[in-house]
């Protein structure tokens, strides 16, 4: 029996552990928090990223190491890679941890990006704003997630406030043009150690305050964008010798794809694949990193995922809906925290829109569901 080590014990590790079990794969999770939610479904080794005594023991107990948390220090990833197989490789992880390196790589691989400039000083910010203008977004290069570490510059006069908010960041900043996109898509992709590569159908996503709120898959009316996204994801994966699942977050502007960021791990916008695809992102990630053959990434029908942020709503309206699926991560409620999600599936878009509407009314979440229902009806 193989043992998969997972760095980070959040909901992604939890869902990986659940997907690993039927394959006969045991999991061992590392997290500094004793109450990490993956610990409810898998053994947990409580240690921080520089506890090399605990990590030495962990490395000896597992066959392969992977990530739930993309901000594991690169030094720790490299140290582990000298002792045990680590997928994705630490170089790929390092690129994805830095918005500047990531965007440079996107361009090298033929994926256009919003205009961007590196910003390390207040003078850099003025220079960058002179080039990019407003509206724009100042972001920390590292460690941002769920819209944290970002400042939206609506007009040039906001520069001081933006610098005040983020200027002290030790890892540097990046200024990006604000893209008035038509929509946001993501592509989930998976590559094996042998180089086998697949993507799932494109997902359409809606964010609220920088946090994913709703996803719809397959994204409607994507036409050629599916094959463009697939080709770009493949180029990136081959360039990084990437093994496992990753997500590319994309903006569609004037019908063209722009790269926002990549997540070197399973991704929130792929949670629909648990019930909505032949093989889920979690199962294929486990298969890929362990050197097993991949499963089919086709959609079974149409799916919508609601993200539950801060606290869980009542489960009953989801459980009472045909093909409705409830996911409680077993986390404490906290503002802004991802505590669960629900996926509802159907064989056609009309039925799906009706089911999504039924759940939204039951939970008084009409606003959250509205863009999905509109897209399903278009
Ligand atoms: P995640 O939780 O996905 O890792 P994050 O904190 O890394 O989020 P981003 O993905 O950079 O943040 O931004 C979050 C959201 O903010 C995006 O999905 C998009 O809706 C919006 N956004 C970010 N950058 C831009 C931009 N340049 N133009 C327009 N909207 C943007
Ligand atoms: Mg991010
Ligand atoms: Mg993002």
162 and 190 in a single domain? The answer is: no
Question: What pTM does this model have?
Answer: 0.97
Looking at the fold, whether 170 and 189 belong to one and the same domain comes out as no
**Where residue 134 falls among pLDDT bands split at 50, 70, 90?**
very high
The count of domains in the chain is 3
Flag whether pLDDT at 5 surpasses 90. yes
Q: Establish if 77 belongs to a structural domain.
A: yes
| 199, 278: one domain | yes
Examine residue 95 and state whether it is found in any structural domain, yes or no: no
Mean of the pLDDT values across residues 247-257? 98
Average pLDDT over residues 101-121: 97
- My answer on whether 7 and 37 are in the same domain is yes
- Residue 263's CATH number: 3.30.470.20
Is residue 82 domain-shared with residue 220, that is, in the same domain?
Answer: no
Quick one: 189 and 243 in the same domain? yes
Query: Where residue 123 falls among pLDDT bands split at 50, 70, 90?
Result: very high
Q: Which ligand 1 atom is the nearest neighbour of the CA of 211?
A: 2
Q: Are residues 62 and 8 in the same domain?
A: yes
- 342 domain-assigned: yes
C-beta of 102 in contact with ligand 1 (< 6 A): no
Ligand 1 centroid to Cα of residue 188, in Å, is 17
Q: Are residues 214 and 332 in the same domain?
A: yes
Residue 149 sits in a domain of what CATH number?
A: 3.30.1490.20
State if residue 147 touches ligand 1 by the CB under 6 angstroms criterion.
Answer: yes
Ligand located closest to 205 CA = 1
97 found inside a domain: no
Q: Residue 269 C-alpha to ligand 1 middle, in angstroms?
A: 13
329 is in an annotated binding site: no
Please indicate, yes or no, if residue 108 is contained in any of the structural domains: no
Residue 161 and residue 234 in one domain? no
pLDDT, residue 378, reads 86
Centre of ligand 3 to C-alpha 304, Å, is 19
Same structural domain for residues 198 and 80? no
Quote the pLDDT of residue 68. 98
Residues in the 5 Å CB sphere of ion ligand 2: 261
Domain housing 65: 3-86
Q: Give the tens place of pLDDT for each residue, 142-176.
A: 988 888 899 999 999 999 999 999 988 878 999 99
Instruction: Please provide the distance, in angstroms rounded to a whole number, between the alpha carbons at the two ends of the chain.
Output: 48
Q: For 295-329, write each residue's pLDDT tens digit.
A: 999 999 999 999 999 999 999 999 999 999 999 99
Q: Would the annotation count 146 as a binding residue?
A: yes
Asked whether residue 253 falls in the same domain as residue 329, the answer is: yes
Mean pLDDT of the chain: 97
For residue 78, tell me if it sits in a domain.
yes
Query: Is ligand 1 within 6 A of the CB of residue 190?
Result: no
So what's the pLDDT on residue 147? 83
Same domain, 218 and 362: yes
Residue 103 lies in a domain: no
């Amino acid at each position: 029996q193989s043992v998969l080590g997972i760095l980070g014990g959040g909901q992604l590790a939890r869902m990986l552990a659940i997907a690993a079990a039927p394959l006969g794969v045991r999991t061992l999770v590392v997290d500094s928090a004793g109450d990490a939610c993956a610990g409810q479904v898998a053994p947990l080794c409580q240690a921080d990223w520089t506890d090399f005594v605990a990590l030495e023991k962990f490395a000896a107990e597992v066959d392969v190491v992977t990530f739930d948390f993309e901000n594991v220090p690169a030094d720790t990833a490299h140290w582990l890679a000298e002792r045990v197989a680590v997928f994705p490789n630490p170089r790929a992880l390092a690129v994805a941890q830095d918005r500047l390196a990531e965007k440079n790589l996107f361009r090298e691989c033929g994926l256009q990006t919003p205009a961007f400039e590196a910003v390390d000083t207040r003078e850099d910010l003025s220079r960058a704003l002179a080039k990019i203008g407003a509206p724009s977004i100042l972001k920390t290069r590292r460690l941002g997630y769920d819209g944290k570490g970002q400042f939206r510059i609506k007009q040039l006069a906001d520069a001081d406030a933006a610098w005040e908010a983020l200027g002290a960041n030790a890892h540097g900043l990046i200024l990006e043009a604000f893209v008035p996109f038509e929509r946001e898509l993501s592509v989930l992709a998976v590559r094996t150690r042998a180089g086998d590569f697949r993507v799932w159908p494109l997902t359409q996503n809606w964010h609220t305050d920088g946090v994913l709120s709703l996803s719809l898959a397959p994204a409607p009316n994507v036409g050629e964008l599916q094959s463009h996204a697939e080709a770009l994801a493949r180029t990136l994966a081959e360039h990084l010798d990437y093994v496992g699942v990753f997500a590319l977050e994309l903006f569609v502007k004037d019908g063209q794809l722009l790269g926002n960021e990549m997540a070197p791990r399973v991704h929130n916008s792929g949670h629909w694949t648990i019930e909505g695809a032949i093989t889920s992102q979690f199962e294929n990630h486990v298969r890929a990193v362990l050197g097993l053959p991949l499963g089919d990434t086709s959609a079974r029908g149409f799916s919508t995922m609601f993200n539950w942020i801060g606290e869980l709503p009542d489960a009953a309206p989801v459980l009472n809906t045909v093909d409705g699926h409830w996911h409680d991560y077993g986390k404490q409620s906290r503002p802004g925290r991802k505590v669960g999600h629900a996926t509802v599936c159907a064989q056609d878009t009309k039925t799906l829109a009706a089911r999504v509407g039924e759940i939204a009314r039951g939970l008084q979440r009409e606003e959250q569901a509205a863009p999905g229902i509109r897209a399903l009806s278009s």
